[in-house]
Amino acid sequence: MYFSQKKVLITGASSGIGEALAYAFAEQNATVLLCARNETELLRVKAAIKAPCEIFVCDITNYQAVDLMILDIVSKYDTIDVLVNNAGMSQRGLAYETDFKVDERILNLNYLAPVYLTKKVLPLMISRNKGNIIVITSLSGKFGFWQRSAYAASKHALHGFFETLQIELKSHHINTLLVCPGGVKTNISKNALEKDGTPHNKMEELQSKGITPASLAGKILKASANGKKQILVGKAEVYLYYIKKWFPWLFFKLVEGLNGR
């Protein structure tokens, strides 16, 4: 098993996709290092894991806290073999109505925080000439969509940064995988920010009828172990990526027609 004995740091491991990834890595007997803000939820996930596991309560937008977390991990585990940049937050609100503070929050969490964390972890990987980085972006990193201007921008930005790393890190044998899911059955739409920054608090159909986090996690581990650079995973919504690529006029016709839903 490719990830056996590897030290895997997962952000956003207290729920949804991060939680499912924690279980999938633990199944391969990796050492699973779980990061998120909610200690109770992290302990719940840890309790379900049989492999070596530790929780790190950390807000990844707090760079000082991230520095301390990395120092703590290195002092205990020596290195990080696999970094999973998963923590993130969505939004629901038309761009021209959305408070700029929402744009800042989303960009800070979804883009700047993973960039900061990756820059802290990379020296550990470069010095050993190996490592795996996994970045959970979104189909929204491939095209704009109603009510998700900051979210789509943050996910597009991840592609710009991490595709550059894919080029720069080849000689260091560090694989970077960009994961672009469509709808996944998690609480992401409930936790999404409204135009005024309050929680959206609704489970939407894209999520309730989406693929399961466990099935996505299985595909992610396989793709990373096989050195893949990008995967698109989901149901019919994945076709929008190909439609935009080959028939952009049709993409805009279809998506504009959704009228904010």
Catalytic residues: 151
Scored b (16 or more CB within 10 A) or e, 39-57 reads: eebbeebbeebebebebbb
Which stretch in 7-15, 22-30, 117-125, 239-247 sits in contact with ligand NAP by CB under 6 A?
7-15
Nearer to ligand NAP, 53 or 87 (CB): 87
- At 20, phi and psi to the nearest 5? -65, -40
Note whether 28 binds ligand NAP by CB under 6 A: no
Q: How far is the CB of 111 from ligand NAP (least distance, A)?
A: 10
Label the pairing between strands 174-181 and 230-233.
parallel
**Binding footprint of ligand NAP, residue count (CB under 6 A):** 31
Q: How far is the CB of 249 from ligand NAP (least distance, A)?
A: 25
Q: How far is CA 261 from the centre of its chain?
A: 24
Q: List the one residue from 3, 16, 111, 125 that touches ligand NAP (CB under 6 A).
A: 16
Nearer to ligand NAP, 4 or 69 (CB): 69
What mask, x for binding ligand NAP by CB under 6 A, covers residues 104 to 143? Answer: -----x--------------------------x-x-----
Nearer to ligand NAP, 126 or 233 (CB): 233
What mask, x for binding ligand NAP by CB under 6 A, covers residues 55 to 94? Answer: ----xxx------------------------xxxxx----
Contacting residues toward ligand NAP, per CB under 6 A: 11-12, 14-18, 36-38, 41, 59-61, 86-90, 109, 136, 138, 181, 183-184, 186-188, 191, 207, 210
